[in-house]
Amino acid sequence: MKQRRAFTLIELLVVIAIIALLMGILTPALQKVRNQARGVVCKSNLNQWGKIFYLYTHDNNSRFMVWKQSGTPGGGTWIVPLMPYYGKGGEDARLCPTTKKTATEGESVPARMAWECTIDGRTHLNSYGINNWCYDLRAGVTTIWGLPNADRRAWRQIDQRRSAEIPMFLECWRWGGGPVDRSAAAPPDEEKLYNSSGLDRYCLKRHGYTINVCFMDGSVQPVRLKKLWDLKWHKEYTLDVALPEWPDWMVGLPE
């Protein structure tokens, strides 16, 4: 009769070591693939938002939603005016897969944080925000969220020359933001919130130090964080103004 041969302890340890080695090699690759997949889903979400903005403006003589003061339903944001265009089934399209928790749930890192608002007793979670210069204004209104000279600077309509250079809707830790000029300060720490209304709201390490941006022509592109300062944020925004001094965590980032 043939004798059964069992694994020796040494052979078993060798097999375990090989499996552990393979796991060590594959885990970073799997994590990279997972992160890339999240970036693809995020980009797909913003593609949907580009279509939503075009549907809304098509129905409103090419004009963006009229800006309203905070205190109105949705805090005067884009959420209420656009709600009929994405409906209750559009909740998933408002969240980047890299964001899981809100500040009230204990998340404090901007890149991982979803923001929330309550409308008619219902809480809405979001990972994206509008360029605050993309609003229409009523006669006599000159500011948007305190941003000066909005009557001259705002993109009141979606039909603009060089629209592929104008950020419209992008990854954000609040409902929106808007730099006045290119000297707008960068967040001094990537792990902390700084509640200004400038570029720090978009400067997030979500997808390998890039964020996805939906431009006014409907295209969606990943933009490196430093390149955010070179986009055409409003009508009077120019590259003639010197860049801010980069904080330590941004110094080595690619341009």
Q: pLDDT by residue (tens digit) across 106-155?
A: 888 889 999 988 877 788 889 999 999 999 998 888 988 888 999 999 99
3-state SS assignment for residue 183:
coil
Please give the Cα distance from 212 to 214 (Å, whole number): 7
pLDDT beneath 50: ranges in the chain? 73
Do 163 and 214 touch, CB atoms closer than 8 A?
Answer: no
Contacts of 73 by beta carbon, 8 Å cutoff, 6+ apart: 80, 119, 120
* Number of continuous H segments (helices) and E segments (strands) in the chain: 4, 7
Q: What is the pLDDT of residue 10?
A: 74
Q: Alpha carbon of 138 to those of 95, 169, 248: distances in Å?
A: 31, 22, 42
pLDDT computed for residue 29 by the predictor: 54
Nearest to 56 by CA among 46, 42, 45, 66: 66
β-pairing, 122-126 vs 115-119, is antiparallel
Q: What is the DSSP string of 31-67?
A: HHHHHHHHHHHHHHHHHHHHHHHHHHHHTTTTBPPBP
For residue 223, the 8-state DSSP code is E
Question: What is the C-alpha R_g of the chain?
Answer: 23
pLDDT of residue 145: 85
Confidence (pTM) = 0.84
The per-residue pLDDT for 63 is 95
